[in-house]
Amino acid sequence: MNGLPGMLRVGDLEVIVSVSDRRKSVRLTVERDASVTAVAPSQVSRGELIRVIEAKRSWLYGKLAERRELGETRPAREYVSGEGFPYLGRSYRLRIVEPGSRVRLVRGRLELGEDGGAGELVRWYCGVGEPWLKRRIQPWASRMGAAEWTGLRVRPLGYRWGSCSLNGRLNMHWATMQLPPTLIDYVLVHELAHLRRGDHGSEFWRLVERTMPGYQDRRERLRRLGPDLWLPEEGR
């Protein structure tokens, strides 16, 4: 270990710190509970880490404000017939059926067993999401020459839409399946670009722009739409 503390205070920010030998740069994340975490390479000193956090202070404040907004405005949903749940940008009404039934989309209705709830719906989004997203990402990966891409999983990711690992595997939040396909495309391109650039610097955004001209409009629509999506506490 290099002596980095488990908790670091920088101004009015409290940052939970962990060290990873796999990291080449510091990764800062604002978690779903509005805590700030930093994963740092083992060779980074306390002073270097503080400088990185200070350089990202405005970004962190913006993300913290988004978390507070998401927590305050996200609408609650009930697991009753007639309740609406989004899928690929459209709202589908729930139909409660006999206990033990698996979740299915049938003739424009989302069927859920009367003994089911959030867990069954989340598993359904994951189940339909993985094959759909794997098909959807192929043209974008080809366009970007993203040979680093090795696979894709759908899983809970807190308030992140996606993430990518050092071995080229992408993780996508199951809630992306609630978005319109054009916004899902933006999330996919964003994560594919991270295979080349781990930060959000100018080179990263130039790569996104080359692949998806006018991406800023999609990014703004995604920011506005996020608080309206269904994201239960147990399914994050």
pLDDT tens string 165-205: 778 889 999 999 999 999 999 999 999 998 888 777 788 89
Looking at residue 89, its amino acid is: G
Q: What is the pLDDT of residue 119?
A: 94
Residue 235 pLDDT greater than 70, yes or no:
no
Mean pLDDT, rounded, for 10-24? 83
**How much is the pTM?**
0.71
pLDDT in tens, 72-111: 455 678 899 999 999 999 999 999 999 999 999 999 999 9
What residues form DSSP beta bridges with 112? 96
pLDDT in tens, 107-148: 999 999 999 999 999 999 999 999 999 999 999 999 998 877
Looking at residue 48, its amino acid is: E
